[in-house]
Structure 1
Amino acid sequence: MHLILTEPLTAAAFAPFGEVLEATGDFRLINAGLCRRHHDRAVLDFGVETDPPGRAGISVFNAEPRSLPYDFDLIERHPQGSQAFLPLSQHPFLVIVSPDPQAIPRAFITNGAQGINLARGTWHGVLTPLHAPGIFAVVDRIGATPNLEEHRFPQPFRVTAP
């Protein structure tokens, strides 16, 4: 079994796979100065050039929590659209990504106040909350054409904390 150590989720480390969504950095005040708007944090891509075209949709996922060490052998990708995960509770979750099925995946742990936007076509693990409730708002492509490819590794990986 291959071992992968988790890393903290940072914008720089995650950049090859998409964007980290968090309320940090530049902002502008709105709502009479009572709200900080951290503007335009992700590139949402819903395959509008496909036939038929896709559109943005918001779904709510309720995933069973897991714990570390965590074993997996499945990654997936969505070739026709990006996919954003916004936790509806402030608990860390595990994010597994890979540049391709032949590479060794990377595993990130969010800080509990971060979401992610996976770029279109990014190989990633399944939704993996580490605490209950595992409820997430998910913004992704809704359309009539298939948008899921899966890959199973011949041997599982084990993710653990350093």
Structure 2
Amino acid sequence: MSAQSHDDTAALTLTAVPLSPEAFAPFGDVIESQGPSNPINQGKGWRYPDLARVDVASGDGRTAISRVACVPEATPVRLRLMERHPLGSQAFIPVDGQRYIVVVAPAGEPPGPDALRAFVASGDQGINYHRGVWHHPMIALDNACDFLEVHRAGPGNNCDEVEIGARIAVRLPDSQEGPL
């Protein structure tokens, strides 16, 4: 599937940086198969334990697993809105190895342009937004991208959305433009 065309004029352009656990820590967890592991299944597999804090118990919530499909977008991508989930965390794990862009801002009041941070994730990295962290909807690159989503289901409003008033776009570093 080819990327969609768009209006790439923007008052502010963010450059996405590579996703790393240290850089993403203020917003959530990076889910990847690195670091300590434990052998399982009679030595035929490995478990990388406790990669993210799933936080869904608020207000009688329960853990739900969904599948999300995203169409690719051409860069620079014009940002549309930010959302947050005040009652629980939300994780996205790519299932088809496609890279994607993550745009976040700290929990709290709706973010201004200076609070936004952009990351480019490889197809083997997932992310877990901590409760209340502002984020843009998923941005697939290159090809369609499917994710497993681990999130809170249950009573109460668990999604606040705010439109981005300024014209803001996110781009990849020159070295990462085009398919990896």
TM range (shorter): over 0.9
Shift of 1:66: 1.0
User: Which of these residues, 84, 88, 94, is aligned with residue 77 of structure 1?
Assistant: 84
Counterpart contact for 1:92–1:112, Cα < 8 Å: yes
| Residue 33 (structure 2) pairs with residue 23 (structure 1) | yes
Structure 2 counterpart of 1:64: 71
Identify which range, 80-89 or 66-75, moves more after superposition.
66-75
Query: Match of 2:12?
Result: 2
**Do 1:65 and 1:132's aligned partners in 2 also have CA atoms closer than 8 Å?**
yes
1:98 matched to 2:105: yes
Q: Decide which moves more: 60-69 or 12-21.
A: 60-69
Identity %: 38
Structure 1 stretches of 4+ with a deviation exceeding 6 A read none
From the two aligned structures, give the one with the greater strand fraction.
1
Q: Is the 8 A contact 2:70 2:146 kept in 1?
A: yes
Q: How far off is 1:132 after superposition?
A: 2.6
- Within the alignment, does 1:36 sit opposite 2:43 as a pair? no
Q: Deviations over 1:43-66 (max 9, x none)?
A: 0001x242xx11000011111111
2-side partners of 1:23 and 1:154: how far apart?
38
Where does 1:84-123 land on structure 2 (aligned, <5 Å)? 84-99=91-106, 100-102=110-112, 103-123=114-134
Q: CA deviation at 1:155?
A: 1.0
Unaligned runs of 5+ in 2: 1-10, 174-180
CA contact (8 A) 1:45 1:120 kept: yes
Matched residues, number:
159
Is the contact made by 1:73 and 1:155 (CA closer than 8 Å) also made in structure 2?
Answer: no
Alignment partners' CA distance in 2, 1:70 and 1:133: 15
Q: Does 1:133 align with 2:140?
A: no
Distance 1:63 1:33, change over 3 A: same
Instruction: Go from structure 1 to structure 2 and tell me whether the alpha carbon gap of 1:32 and 1:94 turns closer, same or farther (over 3 Å shift).
Output: same
Quote the offset at 1:67 in angstroms.
2.1
Letter in 1 for 2:67: V
Give the structure-1-normalised TM-score: 0.94
Cα deviation, 1:74-127, whole Å, max 9, x if unaligned, reads: 100000010000111111111000115124311100121100000010100001
Quote the RMSD (CA, aligned, Å): 1.2
